[in-house]
Structure 1
Amino acid sequence: MSEKEVLNILGKKVALGESAKVSFSVAKLHTQNTIEVPVIIERSKKPGPIVLITAGIHGDEVNGVEIVRQIISKGINKPKKGTIICIPVINVFGFIHMDREFPDGRDLNRVFPGGKSGSLASRVAHKLMTEIVPHADLILDFHTGGADRFNAAQIRIIKNDVVLDELAQIFGAPIIYYTKNLNKSFRNTCYKLGIPMLLFEGGKSFHIDNNVTNTGVNGTKRILNHLGMLNRNFKVSKPKKSCIKILDSKWIRANHSGMFKASVDVNTFVKKGDVLGHITDPYGSFNHFVKAPNNGYIFNVNESPIIYQGDAIFHISTKLQQ
């Protein structure tokens, strides 16, 4: 058999038409228990693209894990042609403790491409980049907003990339947010290898939102359908709204500490001077109104009831692509 007919991954050979569940372990817990990172592989009898679907780079981003879980449980990951590789939880260490980072305190998304003799997070990054990522033709990576900051469902890509632009529009999230690739991130490392990635953001940590989940699952189906990989048992829906393309943005930060309540939701267009929320104190001595500094779309809202001066409370677009 040719190399395309047999996928050699993590020491296991998976032929066309076969399914496999493999895993990799990098280190043991302090109790000597081995932590395995499951990798679920589904191959059609017909050759085609290899799509890698990942989530859980940050252990507290449960909504991304839920999206990949649904893709697997519904059988969307069983392709009509080609291969789909799913890793629902990359940072299993963090997921167990509901912690963003690894036990070594490092953010996995800031240590790529990693090294085989580096920190624990670095070793996981290295394993991913050397033994799994090189097989992929396209990567869909699912994230959520950090802490209590709720992200509107969005695809993040760099500017002026024709391939990513087309794929992002096919995915059909309400927002395409053009951002630079961060140094040592998973996205930037894959970009340097020439492997396109759509990074999905939606929701917040420790929370599962049905709208965000549905957007991620439906977007995945549209991408797989575009590639001719979606099983005919599944229908593809059109996006409910036309896509908003954000070129630049700014964070609105709290001028006061106190109790906070937003009065606008994500995906809301506001005008300069509109009231977005208010900050009060427990004693009723003041009530500060947070106002929009410019016209734009709100695409992240801090849902924490208690905030401190300087905290990011809203993310607003400052420049849109027409």
Structure 2
Amino acid sequence: MTSAIARREWSVPVGRRIDGAPWHIRFVELRGAAPGPATAIVAGLYGDKPLGSIAVHDLELQLMQEQLKGTVLLAPAVNLPALQVGTRVSPDHLYLNRRFPGTPSGFLTDQVAHAVANVVYEHSECVIDLHSGTPNMALWYSYDAGDLELTSSFGYLPVVVDFRPGGQVSATAVERGLSGFLPEFGGASLPSPAAGVEGSLNTLRYRGHLGGSPTGPPRLPVIRERPLFLASTSGVLQASVSTDSVGSEIPAGRLGWITSPATGEVWEEFEIDRPGILLMAVTTPTIVNPGDFAFMVGFPHDEVEVPGAS
């Protein structure tokens, strides 16, 4: 038997398009019959990460069947201008998740950040900034924002500590006295939204919204050292590791290399000197240019237990 859940949906207008209509950022609030905490789950901050948005929609369907306590605020697609064109960068050439808390009179991206921040920080105590990979990039880790127990409650993903860029929606929440973290999952050859859904359910259990025990592995690697490999030259990126291996341990050695399509020369190589966990990889072979993502590897220095895991 499920409890009655009150569902409220509304949208917040931002800016005005050339046809005179504003962008509408949609929010859904699920309120359980019993009192409890308030948690926000936001996705779609980058337009090339649609899998996170799908996970939030699937999560809502799951929550409607649960005995929910407190309130869960869902915002599946907050960066509509970028989602419409499918790009990481918004049409005004800014990264939304570096602009929080935003401003009502700045660039369009700043206005979006301001509108989202006003709702999310007002209606929640904790923010899960749910990200996914892209159609061509797989990711598998969570960024901690200072509360390792909370971040590890998501499960499934290695936890990266001591990295908190300014302007993120979750990091800004922490600066304002709330809590939050940023999980990244799936993408490329890992197209299922399941980890995003199950991980969010785990954190909602941890926070007291739901009963039951967490799913997934009982312990997670904790990572401080996580070299990010970017192309420094144009060419064809080839790889010794594939997106299928993201989230798994890989041996020391060559990760990939960039070849000149004109001459066949190898212009750049990427390698690691010891085993690590592949946190990010892109679909290869692919054309890259200086600054494009290639790989990210994590070297665990500790482990953390998922709260409530047996």
TM range (shorter): 0.7 to 0.9
Give the C-alpha shift of residue 290 in structure 1. Answer: 4.3
Distance in structure 2 (CA, Å) of the matches to 1:309 and 1:260:
11
The match for 1:298 among 264, 270, 278 is 278
Q: Determine if contact 1:77/1:84 at 8 Å carries over to the other structure.
A: no
Which of 106, 119, 144 is the aligned partner of 1:157? Answer: 144
Identity across aligned pairs (percent)? Answer: 24
Q: Does 1:203 align with 2:186?
A: yes
Q: Which residue of 2 aligns with 1:82?
A: 70
Give 1:237 deviation, angstroms.
Answer: 5.3
Which residue pairs with 2:197 in the alignment? 217
Deviations 1:96-131 (A, max 9, x none): 221323333322222211122222221222222223
**1:117 alignment partner, one of 101, 105, 112:** 105
Larger radius of gyration: 1
Deviation (angstroms), 1:178: 1.1
Question: Aligned ranges for residues 172-211 of structure 1 at < 5 Å?
Answer: 172-204=155-187, 209-211=190-192
Corresponding position of 1:126: 114
What is the number of residues matched between the two proteins? 295
Please say if residues 156 and 217 of structure 2, whose CA atoms lie closer than 8 Å, have aligned partners that are also in contact. Answer: no
Q: TM-score, normalised by structure 2?
A: 0.83
Are 1:248 and 2:229 an aligned pair? no
Secondary structure of 1:200's aligned partner: strand
- For the residue of structure 2 that corresponds to 1:103, the secondary structure is coil
What is the CA–CA distance in structure 2 between the aligned matches of 1:284 and 1:239, rounded to whole Å? 47
Check the 8 A contact 1:71/1:77 in 2, yes or no. no
When normalised by structure 1's length, the TM-score is 0.80
Q: Aligned partners of 1:227 and 1:71: how far apart in 2? A: 16
Instruction: Name 1:46's counterpart in structure 2.
Output: 34
Q: Could you list the runs of 5+ residues in structure 1 that have no partner in the other structure?
A: 1-15
**Structure 1 residue 43: deviation in Å?**
0.8
Q: Does 1:107 align with 2:95?
A: yes
Write the letter of the residue equivalent to 1:166: E
Q: Structure 2: any 5+ residue segments left out of the alignment?
A: 304-310
Give the CA deviation at 1:229.
1.7
Taking the aligned partners of 2:300 and 2:181, their CA distance within structure 1 comes to 21
- How far is the alpha carbon of 1:21 from its aligned partner? 0.6
**Contact 2:50 / 2:134 at 8 angstroms: preserved in 1?**
no
1:275 aligned onto 2:244: no
Distance change in 2, residues 1:320/1:100 (3 Å): same
Residues 171 and 185 of structure 1, relative CA distance in 2, 3 Å threshold? closer
Instruction: Report the Cα distance in structure 2 between the residues aligned to 1:140 and 1:79, rounded to whole angstroms.
Output: 20
Shift of 1:135: 2.3
1:246 Cα deviation (Å)? 0.6
Cα deviation, residue 300, structure 1: 1.1
Q: Secondary structure at the match of 2:229?
A: strand
8 Å contact kept, 2:41–2:127: yes
The 5 Å alignment of 1:49-64 reads: 49-64=37-52
After TM superposition, give the deviation of residue 86 of structure 1 in Å. 0.4
Matched to 1:171, the amino acid is: F
Equivalents in 2 of 1:255, 1:95: separation in Å?
Answer: 28
AA at the equivalent of 1:125: A
